[in-house]
Amino acid sequence: MATEQSFFEYLRSFNETASPINFMLIYDNFGRFFEGALVTFELTFLALLVGGLIAIPMAIARAYRKPFFGPAIRAYTCVICGTPLLVQVYLFYFGLGRFKAVRNSSLWDPILSSLWRCVLIAFTLNTAAYEAEFLRGAIETTPHGEVEAARASGMTPFTRMRLVVLPSAFRRALPAYSYEVIFTLHGSVIQAR
């Protein structure tokens, strides 16, 4: 027992004086790293989930060139994809809080006053724009034969979308989606400040 204790102390003193990286310090604060990782995963997961749900109707509206929504979503995507995520987060958290109207509105207290929720909203809007863009590409490149076959077997437009177009589009969008997941995970370093 005594030797074990002294070995542990030797390890600690070695880490504090000779080792370039203090591994014992990392070991002591492991709980904090774990908590931080949990926040990162939570943020990434929620942003991707909600963003993905928003992205599907946006991608459909753009792929089928709906009169008003198509150009509006195009403009939205252009703004989001053309500006850094950090600036969007700043705009959301520090910017909106400056307005009295926003501070007094009913949304302020439950949603916009918390940093975490502001970051989550910014991330969700960001990932929704990117996902809508590549999902639109996937929907537009659906082989015509698949749609024709679905039409020939008497599917309504909704069923056609649900059973044929979207599953096939998801398959083609998957490589881009995995990139987007990693991008969102990397992007979450921004919440650090």
Residues at the site binding other proteins, with contacts judged by CB under 8 A: 78-79, 81-88, 90-91, 94-96, 98-99, 189-190, 192-193
**Shortest Å distance, C-beta 29 to other proteins:** 21
Residue 188: partners with Cβ closer than 8 Å, 6 or more residues away: 40, 43, 44, 123
**Shortest Å distance, C-beta 75 to other proteins:** 11
**Shortest Å distance, C-beta 35 to other proteins:** 20
**Shortest Å distance, C-beta 48 to other proteins:** 18
Q: Would you say 47 or 180 has its CB closer to other proteins?
A: 180
Q: Would you say 57 or 97 has its CB closer to other proteins?
A: 97
H/E/C letters for each residue in the chain?
Answer: CHHHHHHHHHHHHHHHHCCCCCHHHHHHCHHHHHHHHHHHHHHHHHHHHHHHHHHHHHHHHHHCCCCCHHHHHHHHHHHHHHCCHHHHHHHHHHHHHHCHHHHHCCCHHHHHCCHHHHHHHHHHHHHHHHHHHHHHHHHHCCCHHHHHHHHHCCCCHHHHHHHHHHHHHHHHHHHHHHHHHHHHHHHHHHHHC
**Shortest Å distance, C-beta 151 to other proteins:** 23
Q: Would you say 55 or 85 has its CB closer to other proteins?
A: 85
Q: Would you say 7 or 99 has its CB closer to other proteins?
A: 99
**Shortest Å distance, C-beta 155 to other proteins:** 27
Q: Would you say 88 or 184 has its CB closer to other proteins?
A: 88
Cβ–Cβ under 8 Å, residues 184 and 123? yes
Q: Would you say 90 or 108 has its CB closer to other proteins?
A: 90
